[in-house]
Chain A
Amino acid sequence: MDLTLKIWRQASAEGKGKFVNYQVQNISADASFLEMLDILNERLVVEGEDPVAFDHDCREGICGACSIYINGRPHGPDRGITTCQMHMRNFKDGETIVIEPWRAKPFPVIKDLMVDRSAFDAIIQAGGYVSVSTGGVPDANAIPIPKRKADEAMDAAACIGCGACVAACKNASAMLFVSAKVSQFALLPQGRLEARERVQKMVAKMDELGFGNCTNTYACEAECPKEISVSHIARMNREFLGAKLLSEK
């Protein structure tokens, strides 16, 4: 198929970007979206132009590196998958595709379609962990955990931190990401010990970094490649309220 690509080009973080139109021909419907961009980039290199910069790593839908806003949707027009898993059969021959980077104040553009997502790392550093005690390896079955809780924690832990929730949210809110990280620990006995401190520190960091507030629009859930539920946001709100009211200090 032949397509027109309207791509955001921005030379550097400080640079002023603009949209540039590119034509690509004979793209297979079975090509992935990133393969289509690879084909464009190979041509740009041959023509002596700067190739389009975009984040990608595993190309198996599990690393969370790819992060492209395609035709008004993070990861493009398909549910529950990342950009790398989205194929060109989702588009029609002759279509114009608008390709943009994630847009959020805490996600500044580095170059073209690449954004700096270290804000997410900063939130994890604020409390998204269980403090490690040294010693012998404990027996895996020493702490009984109900299957339902384990499953729910696993669903939350499926978050790959790609940032699609922030990109999709009309407020650039990171609530789905933060709540998934809070939930995965809050549901398990190992995580409960630091749960009250964790939720307060992570929410405080999220606010400090300039993410927007949640208006319960639920675009995040609709666009999450791992289909993480907004029920985790409610759990985080609950955890936060409980922590504020019951904290010892």
Chain B
Amino acid sequence: MSLKYSSVTKKIVMSLAGLFLTSFLVVHLLINLLILFDPTRELFNEAAHFMATNPLIQTFQYVLFFGFILHIIFGLVLQIQNWMARPVRYEKKGSSEQSYFSKFMIHTGAIVFIFLIIHFANFFVKAKFGHVEALTYPSGATYEDLGMLVVNLFQDGAYVIFYVVAILLLGFHLDHGFQSAFQSLGLNHSRYTPFIKLFGTLFSVAITLGFISIPLVIYFS
């Protein structure tokens, strides 16, 4: 289906979908961090409840799925075309790339995708279709205790390692992807591009450290 689009169009779709998914990561991280700042998990559970019931967010959920699907399908098509463009490999591999992680976008992307499926089964499916114990707080509010799901999962050392590795790879993916998205959209300027690159790297580090801190804090406390 996406074969008929030009290479430049496909890259523009990739960058828009990628930036959209990145904005989702920020929201997701901010909500996750609530669990560290509230031992009763009320803040986190309240936020999760809001996300699961707010009609606007529920609508956006479908936009988000669509973004994921576009990013994955176009990414695969682009990668297959790229492999096909050089049927005979070099004997001596080139090493002149200036954005190192660009070489591994398909690999980091694939592992993040596997992580996503497991993550989905662990949280989204359970929250939406399974039964999660409800908790009534002193304030009188009752929320499903999704925070407990998180805390329980992060007691498992193997899962924590898997989670940390997947998020690290996501960070590498973001580091290239962020500045690359601007370039694909034609936004390159001698004054702003160095800032975009630096911001992208700092942003990727912040997102990575933010997500990684949660399982580590829970596991070691």
Contacts and interface: CB of A to CB of B under 8 A. Distances in A.
A210 B84 CA distance: 8
Contacts of A172: 82, 85-86
Interface residues of A, number: 49
Given A215-B180, A231-B190, A105 B85 contact: yes
A241 interface: yes
Contacts of A244: 9
Contacts of B78: 213, 215
B179 A69 contact: no
B91 interface: yes
Contacts of A235: 186, 188
Contact of A217 (B10, B86, B97): B97
B99 A237 contact: no
B185 interface: yes
Contacts of B103: 170, 217
Q: Counting chain A CB atoms within 10 Å of each CB, which of B88, B103, B105 scores highest?
A: B88
A73 B180 CA distance: 23
B8 interface: yes
B6 interface: yes
A75 to B, nearest CB: 11
Contacts of A231: 188-190, 193
A103 B89 contact: yes
B221 interface: no
Closest 8 CB pairs of A and B: A238-B186, A234-B188, A212-B85, A171-B82, A237-B186, A218-B98, A172-B85, A72-B92
Interface of B: 6-12, 78, 81-82, 84-99, 102-103, 105, 176, 179-180, 183-190, 193
